[in-house]
Structure 1
Amino acid sequence: MQSPRCAFPEVPVRFARRFLAPLATAVLLASLPALAEEPVCAPVSKVPLERHLRQLTLDLLGRPPTYEEYQAARAKGQVSVEDVRALMDKEEFYARIRGYHRALLWSNVSASVFNNGNSRLSGAGSATDAFSLRGNSSRPLRGANGQGCDSYMAQDVCNARQDPHADPALPATTAACSAERYDERGVPKPVSWDYDTNFYNCTRVDQNLADGTPVKTCQEAAAAKRLGDNGERIYFCDMRRINVGSPAVPTLVPHECKPRTATYQPVADAADGNRVTSYEDPTVTSNAPLKRCGLTLGQKRASNGVEIKGSYEPQRGCVHREGYVTRPAPFWNAGTADVRVCAIEAQTRSANPWTLEPCTTARFNGDRSCGCGEGMRRCEATNGSTHDARVKAISAEPELIAESVVRRDEPYFNILTTRRSFLNGPLSEMYRDPQQAVGVFSATAPATPEVLPNLPFAQADTWKEYVRDSEHSGVLTTASFLYRFPTQRARVNHFYAAFLCKAFTPPDNANLPPAEDACNRENNLAKRCGCNYCHATIEPTGAHWGRYAERAALFLQPEQFPRYDPKCRDCALSGNTSCGGECGQYVMQAYDGDGANSLGLLKTYLYRTADEEKNIESGPALLVQRMLQTGDLERCTVRRVWQEFLGRPMSVEEQRLYLQPLADDFARDGHRFKALIERVLMSDAYRRID
């Protein structure tokens, strides 16, 4: 495909292509109305052989030619179609293809998956720093943020007390020890405690006596009258572990803790030897008392004030620490040495044994009875590496799908319809085990466990091919696409932008009715005045993703999420819009007549006609089939390849000369992507000097 071009002074080709060509074309087109007939131009000036080869290798492989490649081209005297095809057989080219589709699909979900760190473990699993949850979840578990367990006291061994002056005596038997360290259903209880420095100022009282005798315990501090003349404040003496000496050694040191709020006054108990058992604020009666800390946990209360057995709650102003246990290494380090894990996190229950509330949801990290699950699968590594590995894998999946289609020389639009996909260790473990990443990722496994390749988490660089379930459609149903474009409207918008080269904008002659017009209050955006210019297309088209939850990568199975659920309708009519958390995908509130008649209806069916409901059941594959009938997919792909390899969009004149012929050739070639690239790279437009 060749055409005459007017010659311009030779300049470096990349500068010419990216900056001068649009200007030159604009000048040429601006002059056309003044001419009586088509201009007769000089022959096209093409870049020299060496520059052509350099362009090709930079564009196809991302690097300049080697000396041997230069020599081979000079010997032949040209760069042939066979040479271009040979370049497209190199692994560097497929890396280039992955990068092209990464940019096209915006396939980076690192900012799309919110991770507040509440499931991320802290610590090293060592003898002095056991693994534990120390984010916001440590408040309901232990009483304050940033708190782990007692890494120096084993949960199952009762041979020591951190604060013997305030705690009960050591149990005499193993059975008594177990009853003290665990409740009746095996939930770990505290083995030590500290006063929370958010409420208290704690100062050391271990200074040596006048004769140089060191003060090592709260009892000795009380005897030295450092906790009141009669040791009356001994219950608020806290044996705290701090680093002492050089080299520093973690050592228990007595501290006296007093409320930070100066108006709190000590309250002594005459029945307990006039010892201070709490601090109260007589000036502000609404300030709750600060009571002495100990090993006893409180219970949360229901709305009627009754305690909920097994729903533990740390005491205000206290940090309650359980001990450690030894467990096999977590799943991300499977096979390595055993580690120390805090007893709460080491639990593997699927539900609270008292309340039966699930441990398989995001609530697990705030329930003292749940833990990290088998192999610590509900939790994440201390440095965020597990989360980063999952994000990286999810982001890479659509690129690998696209690469496989191009590598096999399949019809290019298979990238939008194929069920074939790939997973590595992090994805294999996450999809095969629903406990992994709970509360962070909401993703449905794309196939049954027996179909998914079984890879250990550590094999992040090993990718295995498999076939997803029938509802899947190329890159359009990958977790990457669903998370990166979290709503049906966003998914439609990017599909149109990336694959149809179209944007949703109202026409230039768009008009809005007066503000008082009822049309402005229409809840159905496909009909609302002004909105309908775009949403008349967006809403029914977005229904192709109607079986995929928004802000998640969940497929809403018809068996689990029927079109209509009478239970949700009944909850909505009774005013229970949450319905126990089971009806989040359904219409639960009415804002117009259609909404009132749609209570209990799956949200995506709201305002859809019978024909549009077919979009929901057929999914994105039906959308691709329809778009293949228009020719827009081919023309957009031509324009994108042109811009990618020429470094600029097609000019108006180039669209007239090249766009439809290249699109027709693309279709005749079976939509082979490499064949399209080849035609663009062998065109005069690619080689000319503008």
Structure 2
Amino acid sequence: MLGSTAALADGEVCAPVSKVPLERHLRQLSLDLLGRPPTYEEYQAARAKGEVTVEDVRALMQKEEFYSRVRAYHRALLWSNVSSSVNNNGNSRLSGVGSTTDAYSLRGNSSRQLRGANGQGCDNFIPQDSCNSPRQDPHAEPTTAKTCYDTRGVPLPVSWDYDTTYYRCDRLDQNPTDATITSCELAVSKGRIPAKYLYFCDMRRQSNGTLLPHLCLPDPAKTNAAALSEEVLDTDGSGRVVSFKHPSPTSSTPLTRLDRCSVDLVLRKDGRGFPINGSYVPQNGCIQREGYVARPAPYWSTTGAEVRVCAIEAQTRVSNPWTMESCTTTRFNNDRSCGCGDRMERCEVADATANVHKLRVDSINAEPELIADSVVRRDEPYFNILTTPRSFLNGPLSELYRNPQEGLGVLSISAPTAAEALPVVPFAETATWKEYVRGPEHSGVLTTPSFLYRFPTQRARVNQFYAAFLCKSFAPPDNARQPAAEDACNRENNLAKRCGCNYCHATIEPTGAHWGRYAERGALFLDPSHFPRFDPKCRDCALSGNTTCNNECGQYVMQAYDGDGASSLGMLKTYLYRTADEEQNIDGGPQLLVQRMLQTGELERCTVRRVWQEFLGRPMSAEEKRLYLEPLAEDFARDGHRFKALIERLVMTDAYRRID
């Protein structure tokens, strides 16, 4: 409990001190420490004893409910919720369930580049490896066998449909009804369509899996296709229409021609208009589907059963075999030759089997709470929560950290230590948490993905650290003055020096340097072995005007806006405008910041104030600060910064027991 001086002073201010009765005191303690009222047996025990002792408080803090309160307290303190901070645009999310009628496939925006339209999967009825059996549109397909893969193993379309974004497709067995018209050849022979439109007769799959013939012609109700009235006939003399084109296009005509659909792909062209081998794009107006293949169970599987996957997504390449462009970047979901990788690691699902993104986010959110829980549970110095390399992972995090391709396109996260040092937990085991030790660059909760994503810039990280652990906010002084608009100081790019901004940024910028080795808007550690302070390749790209350097220099200064920037091309962005002292902050990381703050006493005083507000439901008054703040902070430090000891002292004070 507090020393006699504080107690005497407290008595002088509020005498006579009225304290809550025993039963109410126990109820307060139980609600504050355990989140529930006392049980009947607990009331009986307290009445028999006649008081609530320090030993009783310590016993309450050994219960599991107390540690649930500890986790909840730190969840609120750290704002541990990245659900709105991690953007998942769905481009790597698979649809389907992997069954014989619903193969896994990318059906979001990615499917436009892969198959010709959004929301399109592959052909669930044609195996890719034997793509000529069955045939969906034999009347319009090659008379010889279709080619299932190109010469380097990239899957090719096995069937097609006309895209109703451009075409109107009418069933030929209806209006009038004639159930005997089951093929395009029969539709022609029975006079339902002119023979010249045979290539625009489309056998379309129905919901029950059957194929029925449809006549698909440019839709006069669609502004993009209504003007395509001129028919182009095949050069083989058959008299069949092979294209519809605009009779009098101008330079501003958006669509001038639609050709018949087939299983042939179009090659993408480079900047000079030359086709690029192996770089395919779907034909305009056509949905071109590949078939399916069987693959081993994906990483999120709980059964280990084999699944059906569309042939594009089933690929495991690390690069396009034709262009050598990487498949290990977000571009994989637009490249026909890439696929989802080994065990489908580049893709995810959100269905009845698992919601991969949600499970990952929930796991990321929980990690800081578990670090805090472990420090308090072991009665370690409290500020270990800010410095310990120890952490915890469950199934989703174990999979994510051990397989760098997982989360590609959604998350930018470094494995916190070498793969062999990471516990192996199956993805489905979301409630199984295992302890491990992260690399030496890590510093408690301050380098968890939760903190780094929730506060995505160095400035935001500084602001939250000051608010949560120093009880400070950044605001210019009352006498702050903004310089005249024409003052050259307003054009200073270094905010630590810019007039008006430097009131706050003179502190924010050097403090933010402690997170300088962590990328902004992600949780990627910029390891010096891969991200040196200066990269001559990036400088050369910048000087040549290639400011992206083929997407390899995003962390480096690639454009100059002032003299410092011009002399810093090719330098890691975090080193721009840094002094020698600030570069030491980059090397020291958040651990160095915490060590410095521990020398000031501010961490202890802020923790006392926050715990006071948590248990008394209000901030300290000015008088309470005078009476309690320093004694509690000093005792906290003397007790080895043990969090439970601080709570024990606080709840035994007269202030806690007083009736307000």
Shorter chain as denominator, the TM-score bin is over 0.9
TM-score after normalising by structure 1: 0.91
After TM superposition, list the pairs within 5 Å mapping 1:209-248 onto structure 2.
214-228=180-194, 231-243=195-207
- Pick closer, same or farther for the CA change 1:213–1:99 going to 2, 3 Å: closer
TM-score after normalising by structure 2: 0.95
SS in 1 for 2:119: coil
SS in 2 for 1:325: strand
Do 1:488 and 1:542's aligned partners in 2 also have CA atoms closer than 8 Å? yes
Amino acid at match of 1:391: V
- Pick closer, same or farther for the CA change 1:6–1:560 going to 2, 3 Å: closer
Q: Give the corresponding residue for 1:150.
A: 123
Cα deviation, residue 339, structure 1:
1.5
Alpha-carbon displacement from aligned partner over 1:617-665 (angstroms, at most 9, x marks no partner): 1100000011001110000000000000000000111011001110000
Alpha-carbon displacement from aligned partner over 1:384-405 (angstroms, at most 9, x marks no partner): 6111111111111111001100
Cα deviation, residue 6, structure 1:
9.6
2: distance between equivalents of 1:213 and 1:625? 82
SS in 2 for 1:300: strand
Residue 594 of structure 1 pairs with residue 564 of structure 2: yes
Amino acid at match of 2:105: S
Q: Give the corresponding residue for 1:441.
A: 411
SS in 1 for 2:391: strand
Q: Give the corresponding residue for 1:274.
A: 239
Cα deviation, residue 334, structure 1:
5.0
Cα deviation, residue 346, structure 1:
0.8
Equivalent residue in structure 2 for 1:488, among 429, 435, 458: 458
After TM superposition, list the pairs within 5 Å mapping 1:290-309 onto structure 2.
290-309=258-277
Cα deviation, residue 125, structure 1:
1.2
Cα deviation, residue 566, structure 1:
1.6
Alpha-carbon displacement from aligned partner over 1:407-462 (angstroms, at most 9, x marks no partner): 00000000000000111111111111111111111101000011100111111111
1: distance between equivalents of 2:412 and 2:232? 51
2: distance between equivalents of 1:3 and 1:90? 30
Cα deviation, residue 671, structure 1:
0.3
Amino acid at match of 1:500: L
Q: Give the corresponding residue for 1:19.
A: none
Residue 347 of structure 1 pairs with residue 315 of structure 2: yes
Cα deviation, residue 336, structure 1:
3.1
Q: Give the corresponding residue for 1:684.
A: 654
Greater alpha carbon shift after TM alignment, 491-500 vs 599-608: 599-608
Do 1:159 and 1:170's aligned partners in 2 also have CA atoms closer than 8 Å? no
How many correspondences in the alignment?
644
Cα deviation, residue 288, structure 1:
2.8
SS in 1 for 2:267: strand
SS in 2 for 1:257: strand
2: distance between equivalents of 1:481 and 1:41? 42
Residue 206 of structure 1 pairs with residue 179 of structure 2: no
Cα deviation, residue 195, structure 1:
0.4
Cα deviation, residue 226, structure 1:
2.1
- Pick closer, same or farther for the CA change 1:237–1:674 going to 2, 3 Å: same
1: distance between equivalents of 2:182 and 2:571? 68
Cα deviation, residue 565, structure 1:
1.4
Do 2:94 and 2:349's aligned partners in 1 also have CA atoms closer than 8 Å? yes
Mind listing any 5+ residue stretches in structure 1 that lack a counterpart?
8-38, 172-176, 244-248
Residue 469 of structure 1 pairs with residue 442 of structure 2: no
SS in 2 for 1:658: helix
Amino acid at match of 1:106: W
Amino acid at match of 1:251: T
Residue 114 of structure 1 pairs with residue 87 of structure 2: yes
Q: Give the corresponding residue for 1:528.
A: 498
SS in 2 for 1:619: helix
SS in 2 for 1:84: helix
2: distance between equivalents of 1:41 and 1:184? 89
2: distance between equivalents of 1:486 and 1:41? 46
2: distance between equivalents of 1:89 and 1:124? 45
Equivalent residue in structure 1 for 2:103, among 117, 130, 133: 130
* RMSD (CA atoms): 1.5
Do 1:209 and 1:215's aligned partners in 2 also have CA atoms closer than 8 Å? no
Alpha-carbon displacement from aligned partner over 1:302-323 (angstroms, at most 9, x marks no partner): 1111111000110000000011
Q: Give the corresponding residue for 1:159.
A: 133
Q: Give the corresponding residue for 1:194.
A: 161
Cα deviation, residue 159, structure 1:
2.0
Equivalent residue in structure 2 for 1:93, among 28, 52, 66: 66
1: distance between equivalents of 2:246 and 2:293? 40
SS in 2 for 1:156: helix
Do 1:207 and 1:215's aligned partners in 2 also have CA atoms closer than 8 Å? no
Alpha-carbon displacement from aligned partner over 1:562-618 (angstroms, at most 9, x marks no partner): 111122111111111111111111111111111111111111111111111100011
Cα deviation, residue 170, structure 1:
5.5
Identity level (%): 71
Alpha-carbon displacement from aligned partner over 1:467-520 (angstroms, at most 9, x marks no partner): 111111111011111111000000000000000000000000001121111111
Alpha-carbon displacement from aligned partner over 1:499-547 (angstroms, at most 9, x marks no partner): 0000000000001121111111111100001000000000010000001
